[in-house]
Structure 1
């Protein structure tokens, strides 16, 4: 069982508690009206009631059946006023300092409504400026959701990492399995030139040899003199049947030598996938034993079909200077058929599901906020962002689930 995620989550929770972080810091729907912390009062339309000197504005975000927009109702001494009795303007400051203004105009139903849409997330500092029956009014309050504060040291100790959103590519990739094999023409079966007893064996299986190096010594039955059996190529000893005292028969292979500095990767492609794979496309090969990857290019697609698997074999060459890629080993690979440029991409690890929406967590200073995003195409490592982020936004790319857990712990609400 991997305890690291659990321990990281516990460490984050304990660290935040030690820092004195309030339980409601992520979703505080209570407002600071003119600097005083006050419990939000709800009106008959479900909106926040802002009161001053007997005048009141009930402000809500209308979301039922329409794009979210600000809507307001006016009151004096608790009695409704017609929409024509005043005007209302709402100014929002979002995380990071972006500002937007919404001017509300009278409607036939007696309310005032803004033309502009209130984009997600509905998390901002709010300033309301109104004039009701000639009385100038102003309120300021916080309306946050999906937001939390994590000190930099706590975030670092918990493994939370951020990276800027930037342009990238989304790859059309095919996941396949394959097998490493020696390249034909780079292997040699070494036999004795003349029959006779083997007097000496100089190499073992796995030894690297150079061209011309002595592999064994055989005493010729014809001349009764010893001669050297040498390697015709540089490579690695793959097989050895020679033993001291045994008789080397003419034409019988004593050693198998192969140059393994480059191997073939034979990849098995099934069904219609074979129609999209052509020579020249990039291939990422992964060694199953330790997860090490290597980049190469597809050289050819063989014309026949593998009899046992009924697959098409696509072949690439793989550099093997360190000798750690071993013939006969199974590998997995990603064949990149095409790459599509994308204006904005983030790693898949940045994505989280939050209130039935796809979100990433944007960081500004020590503040983290859930940012709903519209997703485009994706590949094995990244996803395209169509809306919800801007280039340069810093998003959590590692341990994003810890940020989500901290926001959920604080009971964030979608409240205006």
Structure 2
């Protein structure tokens, strides 16, 4: 954990203490409380005992070797009753008001068992409706797992941020390195037409020039008259190989001028990655000096390999109207080979672990709760969620480790 994370976690703890902590599900008079001081009584099958008027229902979640489902046993004055002596129905209200009803039916082993599955997390308000030997019975209690409450101001001050789970795109991307170079055909090497001494220089390296502009004056050795050396293109002076009083040799380059309004980005691709990259795919180029990015499209994959690195070179053109992209500079780039739509995505940063699950945290009001998720494809930023969330769920996308720490501190656990 980084120092910044440690400071954030400490700040959240101090804020919770300063505000008196969260309501840790204090006893409200209902049957048993998952986090109250008094643990609920347990029966011989490990289930919660619900007693009223001499009748007891032992209720548990059976999940040994099977998907989790509600199971119950009936007793009168502590003695077992046959499963056919009554009926049991379990009604659940999950965070966000989602309701479920599970009806238990008699089994040959003497228990009552529901056919419906109790999905994770096992975190809900429970209402048990039973009819045993003609008596109507009812119990309510809460059973929270992976849940905590954090006041809105505390969460905001701690940097906890949420965003809705929603449809998105998963990209097959390749991270590569590259080099900026002038576009071929947009560089002019300007020489003197006739040899002779240089009488005047009009520009310096870095100056912007326009086509036809005078760069120098040279006195011809043949005619002893002066003539003007001009640039055939507009651009920037990259090099000046001349001094006043020096001699301009025949054919010797005096100036190098380049049109840098656009540059080539030569990207180096290694190994099998080269087989997946074709012209026409999007490229995001990042300037290493300040992290600025630009979007372009891959134009071609060169047929040969770079001699020194034995890499395949893929080339794109980058607009450079402001001149801040400089030839010779190294850049990094992300080539998007393919984009696949996904029904539901969340940022990779939203993922955490809880017990042996991969989870995200969902916020409803000021309450946060785990959601075990089944995941699909991912890219550098997003991951596909196959199950465990629905569109619109408010998922913690920043500082999720703080929510995890607070849930673990609360000790919320299964009530099986």
Scaled by the length of structure 1, what TM-score is found? 0.94
- The one-character-per-residue Cα deviations of 1:352-385 (angstroms, maximum 9, x if unpaired) are 1111211111011111111000000101110000
Q: 1:169-216: per-residue Cα shift (whole Å, max 9, x none)?
A: 111112222111111001011112222222332322222222222222
Q: Distance in 2 between matches of 1:353 and 1:286?
A: 32
Give runs of aligned pairs for residues 62-141 of structure 1, distance below 5 A: 62-141=62-141
Match of 1:13 in 2: 13
Could you tell me how far apart the structure 2 residues matched to 1:323 and 1:391 are? Answer: 43
Matched, 1:33 2:30: yes
Offset of 1:257 from its aligned partner? 0.9
What's the offset of the Cα at 1:60?
0.7
Within 2, Cα distance between the matches of 1:313 and 1:29?
65
Counterparts in 2 of 1:370 and 1:30: CA distance versus 1, 3 Å: farther
The answer to whether the Cα contact below 8 Å between 1:29 and 1:40 also exists between their aligned partners in 2 is: no
Specify whether residues 341 and 32 from structure 1 end up closer, same or farther in structure 2 by C-alpha distance, changes over 3 A only.
Answer: farther
Cα distance, 1:30 vs. partner? 7.7
| Corresponding residue SS for 1:229 | strand
Aligned 8 A contact 2:32 2:39 in 1: no
Deviation at 1:61, TM superposition (A): 0.6
Residue equivalent to 1:183: 183
Which residue pairs with 1:156 in the alignment? 156
1:192 and 1:252 in contact (8 A); partners too: yes
Residue 217 of structure 1 deviates from its aligned partner by 2.6
**Counterpart-to-counterpart distance in 1, 2:46 and 2:17:** 34
Provide the C-alpha distance between the structure 2 equivalents of 1:16 and 1:64, rounded to a whole number of angstroms.
38
**Shift of residue 35, structure 1, vs aligned partner:** 9.2
Q: How does 1:379-390 map to 2 (within 5 A)?
A: 379-390=379-390
Query: Structure 2: which 5+ residue stretches go unaligned?
Result: none
In the alignment, what sits opposite 1:193?
Answer: 193
| Aligned residue in 1 for 2:263 | 263
Please report how far the alpha carbon of residue 133 of structure 1 lies from its aligned counterpart in structure 2 after TM superposition. Answer: 1.5
Supply the distance in 2 between the matched residues of 1:232 and 1:42 (Cα, whole angstroms). 93
Say if 1:30 and 1:143, in contact at 8 Å, map to a contact too.
Answer: no
State which drifts further: 200-209 or 361-370. Answer: 200-209
**CA distance in 2 between partners of 1:192 and 1:237 (Å):** 16
2:398 aligns to what? 398
CA contact (8 A) 1:163 1:396 kept: yes
Q: Give the 3 Å change call, closer, same or farther, for CA 295–171 of structure 1 in structure 2.
A: same
**Cα distance in 2 for residues equivalent to 1:413 and 1:347:** 27
* Cα distance per residue 1:74-122 (max 9 Å; x no partner): 1121222111111110011111111000000111111111000000111
Whole-angstrom distance in 1 between the partners of 2:410 and 2:201:
74
- Report the 3-state secondary structure (helix = DSSP H, G, I; strand = E; otherwise coil) of the residue aligned with 1:73: strand
CA distance change for structure 1 residues 369 and 245 in 2, over 3 Å: closer, same or farther?
same
Q: Residue 69 of structure 1: CA displacement?
A: 0.3
CA contact (8 A) 1:125 1:140 kept: yes
Measured in 2, the distance between the counterparts of 1:209 and 1:2 equals: 50
Note if contact 1:31-1:39 (Cα within 8 Å) is conserved in structure 2: no
Gaps of 5+ in 1: none
Q: Does 1:368 align with 2:368?
A: yes
What secondary structure, in the 3-state scheme, does the structure 2 residue paired with 1:33 have?
coil
Q: Tell me, what secondary structure is at the counterpart of 2:260?
A: coil
| Residue 410 (structure 1) shift | 2.1
Q: CA shift at 1:34, angstroms? A: 5.6
The answer on whether the counterparts of 1:32 and 1:142 sit within 8 Å (CA) in structure 2 is no
Task: Note the 1:198-209 alignment, pairs <5 A.
Answer: 198-209=198-209
Tell me what 1:310 maps to: 310
Once the two structures are superposed, residues 313-363 of structure 1 have per-residue CA deviations (whole angstroms, 9 ceiling, x without a partner) of 111111111222221122222211111111001111111111121111101
Matched residue pairs, number? 413
Which one is further off, 404-413 or 356-365? 404-413
Distance 1:78 1:263, change over 3 A: same
> Matched residues in 2 for 1:114 and 1:261: separation?
71
Distance 1:352 1:2 in 2: 16
Asked if 1 retains the 8 angstrom alpha-carbon contact of 2:32 and 2:40, the reply is: no
Separation in 1, partners of 2:213, 2:12: 62
Deviations 1:247-274 (A, max 9, x none): 2212111111111111111112222222
In structure 2, C-alpha distance between the alignment counterparts of 1:5 and 1:207, rounded to whole Å: 48
Tell me the residue number matched to 1:246.
246
Q: After the TM superposition, which of the residue ranges 344-353 and 196-205 deviates more from structure 2?
A: 196-205
Compute the RMSD of aligned alpha carbons.
2.0
